Structure 1
């Protein structure tokens, strides 16, 4: 009898493989992010942890695919063939939640950097220029709007309270959330934006959120407000953002994600004085693999072995997240 197979398409420490193997001692576990490894193993994998571009050819193209469950290594699932996975009734879970600490730290690094002009002073240091740069803003007591109140949004709201901030949140359901003073629905976005000194985007990319923030939305924001986007680049209309930054319609932006990545060298965002860019690294952390495996994959694997749908971060194909 052929052993059941779990493919972990990542390069992970052997200690994590051992922890997973204890749960499925009779399974064959294969690890490795290189295509030469996973393209050979994917056709026979019952479970794939860490979906890679191109895997569709080696799994879903088969008439009777072995694949039953995909556990992603990222929070976003917009790059997966969702329609085909859904039509094959393949269970799908994400790594949502592993980013809450590192991304919330990045959000505040960007907010504080823009508020206290750290990026300006770094440039001055490089040119050995001693200049006050009209520093005057504080973050304490200001109003923060969080678009998307999942794990990242909740952690961001929690930290905001240490700064005495008023926190407004937006989620599709409008359901209240701890640390958030007022909750808005997505249909109330235009009511939320004018109230905010900082607008933070932590939303997934879906049909509803695609190009959600454009010319009209920037016009509604305060001209002293800052935009922070760590969600997905396509949620923001980049040309409209650049125009709003150039005209002073908003004060500045901290951006970790972009419409096209890597950010093209011709983009004006690189050199704008009121912008901080980071290369889609907000979720990077020394604990990433540990959290995916111990907090998500192993508990979900136990559910799967018991014949239940994995309970952590189950993706709703209809919603796209």
Structure 2
């Protein structure tokens, strides 16, 4: 393959700081990285890939942006993180080979584009899955510890200036923690809970062993296993098969006081069933970073429930996220150029 052929014309279709653009070029010199920072919506904070919604391109700027995007062999990001814009450029650009979504759950964005099977087979879609594993695993650990140490009770007593009789807190190293979903996030959760001394179980579809996991549970046996654990961490992506997987049957099988942390996709948990489980004490504490519909409805009882911690889908956010995703992109670019399998490829049947 000639030097010209062995290059990728990559268009940056979302805001990405120049230092991270240069990092990609440094890590993989065979990439021709095309960007125009004046045409992407400016970030409002770290990893704000869709950018400021109040920034509007002029018709001329939009035409320039579309022309730039349509010239790509590869896209860094779905244009403006907009599925409709992805559908437009896929139809306009038959040379497009690969699109990296900046979201770990980018499969849902690809699905929302409504692409034809020909396009789904022609283009490889990847996500940033695994990049957010560390921060999300830390939130899961925080959530389980908060439940084990009675954070709501501590805060209430502090607010009321109450000094109660001493009471026993739960110890993580005496707990069994079930990680529902042992992908990149789940594996990081398992590793951290093992270090804390917990017995770690995890659900699996493949049956392949995972470091730090003492027992593998087939996903279709989840309801049979939850009654034997002290805490559950949900990390699964949102698909048709995982929708409300943690529903009335699974929640009803839990023992009283089970701690729940949710860091995958909110659609995995049936929130009506969760509220019932919170009210009857089967769930003793829930730390939730994701919800069925976001932003969470101001009328949702989850906001004011005394044993719920609401995090506005922000646990994964890190000032280093952009650098990590840039490095992941450069690594996958090298894999593509060297005919090696790419990491975090979207399953275009189930879209995860």
Shared fold by TM > 0.5? yes
Q: Report the equivalent of 1:218.
A: 251
Alpha-carbon distance between aligned partners in 1 of 2:118 and 2:243, rounded to the nearest angstrom? 23
2:39 corresponds to 1:12: no
**Residue 53 of structure 2 corresponds to residue 50 of structure 1:** no
Deviations 1:62-113 (A, max 9, x none): 3x44422111111112422336165311111111111111111111111111
SS of 1:60's partner is helix
CA RMSD of aligned residues (A): 2.5
Equivalent residue for 2:335, pick from 277, 290, 303: 303
> Helix, strand or coil for the counterpart of 1:252?
strand
Per-residue deviation, 1:293: 1.1
What is the CA distance between 1:315 and its match in structure 2? 2.1
Query: Are 1:68 and 2:97 matched, yes or no?
Result: yes
d(CA) in 2 for partners of 1:27 and 1:16?
11
SS of 1:41 mapped into structure 2: helix
In structure 2, relative to structure 1, the CA distance for the partners of 1:267 and 1:39 (3 Å cut) is farther
- What pairs with 1:61-100 in structure 2 (closer than 5 Å)? 61-62=91-92, 64-82=93-111, 84=115, 86-88=117-119, 89-100=122-133
Distance 1:124 1:265, change over 3 A: farther
Whether contact under 8 Å (1:46, 1:66) holds in the other structure is yes
Q: How does 1:1-321 map to 2 (within 5 A)?
A: 5-22=9-26, 23-24=29-30, 26-31=32-37, 32-33=40-41, 34=51, 36=57, 39=66, 41-51=68-78, 52-53=81-82, 54-62=84-92, 64-82=93-111, 84=115, 86-88=117-119, 89-125=122-158, 127-132=159-164, 134=167, 136-294=169-327, 296-306=328-338, 308=339, 310-321=341-352
Q: Which has the higher contact order (CA 8 A, sep 6+)?
A: 2
Larger mean Cα displacement after TM superposition, 76-85 or 100-109: 76-85
Residues 61 and 144 (structure 1 numbering): CA distance in 2 closer, same or farther, change over 3 Å? Answer: same
User: In terms of mean alpha carbon deviation, does 30-39 or 167-176 score higher?
Assistant: 30-39
8 Å Cα contact 2:178-2:231 kept in structure 1: yes
1:39 Cα offset (Å)? 4.8
The 3-state SS of whatever aligns with 2:255 is: coil
Cα deviation, residue 131, structure 1: 4.3
Consecutive unaligned residues in structure 2, runs of 5 or more: 42-50
Distance in 1 between the 2:156 and 2:195 partners? 29
Superposed CA deviations along residues 132-179 of structure 1, whole A, max 9, x for unmatched, are 495532222100000111122112111112222111110111222111
Out of 83-92 and 163-172, give the one that drifted further.
Answer: 83-92
SS of match in other structure, 2:172: coil
TM value normalised by structure 2: 0.82
